[in-house]
Structure 1
Amino acid sequence: MIRHRKLLPALALVPLLAACATTPAPDAPAAGKAAAGFPYTVDNCGVKSTYQAPPKRAVTMNQHVTEVMLALGLEKSLVGTAYLDDAVLPAYKKAYDSIPVLAKEYPSKEALLAANPDFVYGGYSSAFSAKDGRSRDDLARAGIATRLNTEYCPTGSTSVDDLYREVRETGRTFGVTSRADSWVGEARATLAATEKRLKGVEPVSVLVYDSGDKTAFTAGGKGIGNELITRAGGRNVFADLDKTFGDATWEQVVARKPEVVVIYDYGSTTVEQKKKRLLDDPALKDVPAIKNRRFAVMPLSDTVLGVRVPAAVDKLAAQLHPAR
């Protein structure tokens, strides 16, 4: 699963009512009369798309963007999904179970096109793999509109404002603006309540341990995981790593003396196995988090740019500052 953050994923769809103009291809709006509230043009990670109506046959690649769609009540617009990291949120399970799963991980280009999509929504840039023939340009040439989760846009760091934008732009694309606005309002309230509870706390230093043996694969300063830690009353010891995820040496881990290790839980390696790897390493024995056995655990899907973030901040805060 390191592949996600190192390769970055997404998916593709075939056009019905939506038309996408993808740089460097010219805009190609769908023929016919535009739906109410359309046409809608959006610039997503440098790719400009114009929609004459909401997509009707969407495919999502990666769990967090699937959950964005489900949070907006758009399961009937989905003709396929792929790539779970962990269990879908219970509130979305019934809706999720109604959607065809195209592949356990990424579907082949042929399997994707067989779903006849008009929109593909990728959570990581690896979802739009050029070597597999499903780059955003490839899909645009096939008449398929695409969206990439903004955590993986080329520039800038990710904040909760980007989450609000992600939900609002997706809602606008599918013609459910009021649902998106309602979700954003609830998210703001959740985050404000956590902030109030944490007022005045002293931040604790945090190492994210995603995976790795020769190096620590960790959260850098560019992704939403960094802000999640900050809002939960922590300080990411690798906030200066100019990536969403990246490798750090164990010598750097020792030097930065994290007080808590946040373990990302997903895949075939269990949390207990990850803890054992850290606790059994003699080089780490004097690291405060290891010496004091201070671990927090977060499902991977809580830590990427999706609708879990507001609740995830509260969940992590409860582990970093249990007295609050």
Structure 2
Amino acid sequence: MRHRARTGIPLTLALALAATGCSATTTEDRASAERPSAAATIGSCGRQLSFDRPPERAVALDQASTETLLELGLQDRMAGTANLKTKIPARYRDAYAKVPVIAPKIATGEQLRSATPDFVVAGSADLYTKDRAGTREELAAVQVPAFVSAVDCPQQNEPGKTPFELLFSDYEQLGKVFGSEQRAAALAREQRAAVAEAGANAGRVTAGDGGQPTVVYLYSVFNGMPYVAGRTGLPSEMSRIVGAKNAFDDVAEDWPEVTWEEVAARDPDFIVIGDLGERGRPGDSAAEKRTAMAADPVVSRLKAVRENRIIEVPGIELDPSVRSVHALGLLAAAVKDLGYVR
């Protein structure tokens, strides 16, 4: 059974508790606070975050951040999670069951503060706004450090670092904060090996015309309009790794809304469907996306659609997360199965 988030704490008290890095005073909490631990300072999206000790009441504002903390074995240091898009994978379910859900969707500032966090983690900077969890400045004012994934902060990162390397740096930074450096380093090492394996055949990948095979990533269909991967999203990097090319690489957005006519004009060699069926919105499931393509008079005539050169991957894995290397592996296998490895 899931634990329910604590409610009913006055906001002023929650702010005061957060500011002191404490929760409701229990013997267990006091004992935890007295454990010896190392201080740490990290950089996160243009800010220095300093810790006198590893956090004891971290809150993850999205599923990607939640699963990263669970992968690092930090469920006992978590005071909350929010904004679940799909079911938690089986390997995390027991650990996830220990973490209170403070909000089923995007958390508000009051919901966040009711958890009395001493650290907040998010994969996206846009979760830190006044009408959401509160700004990073507001949280800093009550001494609650707010972490943003390096993947979502390109202007602050070292030039030339790939999105996967930025993702791995998140693991290492969080490992430093929580005193879990060895586990974080092992995770980064394992996933670097998975990326290298996925790219092993990239030099031998060609389409029929001798160029790179092009791919459209169909993430969602909303009100009849397709949302696809643009240049700044992770799929462009995934394409590069396996030797393909994102057909919408010229659009400087993560998931731009386009038209079916634009999809047809790109005439991709194959199509990747992000299955978000568990999210439950219209147009999210892989079946609905296949139906939408088959129903469009132009897209339905594309060779990729007629010959079913379509692969399905979990949609959440197309956004940066600890699970993204799995989608990358599926993409590499599909490129080989579709005959593009010469």
Classify the TM-score, shorter chain. 0.7 to 0.9
Whether 2:224 is the aligned partner of 1:209: answer no
Alignment counterpart, residue 315 of structure 2, candidates 297, 300, 310: 300
Which residue, out of 252, 258, 265, partners 2:268? 258
Percent identity, please. Answer: 28
Relative to 1, partners in 2 of residues 1:137 and 1:83: Cα closer, same or farther, differing over 3 Å?
A: same
Greater alpha carbon shift after TM alignment, 226-235 vs 192-201: 192-201
Does residue 239 of structure 1 match 2:249? yes
| Residues 1:314 and 2:318 are matched in the alignment | no
Report the number of matched residues.
299
1:1-324 counterparts in 2 under 5 A?
14-15=18-19, 36-38=37-39, 40-132=40-132, 134-153=134-153, 155=155, 159-202=163-206, 203-212=212-221, 213=223, 215-266=225-276, 267-268=279-280, 269-322=284-337
CA, structure 1 residues 110+17, in 2 after alignment: closer, same or farther (shift >3 Å)?
closer
**After the TM superposition, which of the residue ranges 277-286 and 52-61 deviates more from structure 2?**
277-286
User: Residues of 1 paired with 2:34 and 2:98: CA distance?
Assistant: 31
Q: Distance in 1 between matches of 2:20 and 2:314?
A: 36
Q: For residues 306 and 192 of structure 1, what CA distance do their matches in structure 2 show?
A: 17
In structure 1, C-alpha distance between the alignment counterparts of 2:78 and 2:217, rounded to whole Å: 34
Structure 1 residue 297, shift from structure 2 partner: 1.3
For structure 2, the residue ranges without an aligned partner over 5 or more in a row are 1-14, 23-32, 207-211
| TM score, norm. by length of structure 1 | 0.84
Q: Deviations over 1:72-125 (max 9, x none)?
A: 111111011111111222221111111111121123322221111111111223
Query: Amino acid of the residue matched to residue 221 of structure 1?
Result: R
Report the secondary structure of 1:285's partner residue: helix
Query: Secondary structure at the residue paired with 2:253?
Result: coil
Residue 235 of structure 1 aligns with an amino acid whose one-letter code is: K
Which range is displaced more, 72-81 or 201-210? 201-210
Are the equivalent residues in 2 in contact too, given 1:17–1:53 (CA < 8 A)? Answer: no
Q: Is the 8 A contact 2:108 2:131 kept in 1?
A: no
CA distance in 2, matches of 1:86, 1:199: 35
C-alpha RMSD of matched pairs (Å): 2.6
How far did residue 321 of structure 1 move?
Answer: 2.3
Structure whose residues are more often helix by fraction = 2
Q: Could you say which structure has the larger radius of gyration?
A: 2
Structure 1 unpaired stretches of 5+: 1-11, 19-31
**Distance in 1 separating the partners of 2:265 and 2:201:** 31
Contact 1:222 1:242 in 2 (8 A): yes
* 8 A contact 1:16–1:56 mirrored in 2: no
Q: Is the 8 A contact 2:79 2:99 kept in 1?
A: yes
Distance 1:55 1:16 in 2: 12
- Structure with the bigger RCO (C-alpha within 8 Å, sep 6+) is 1
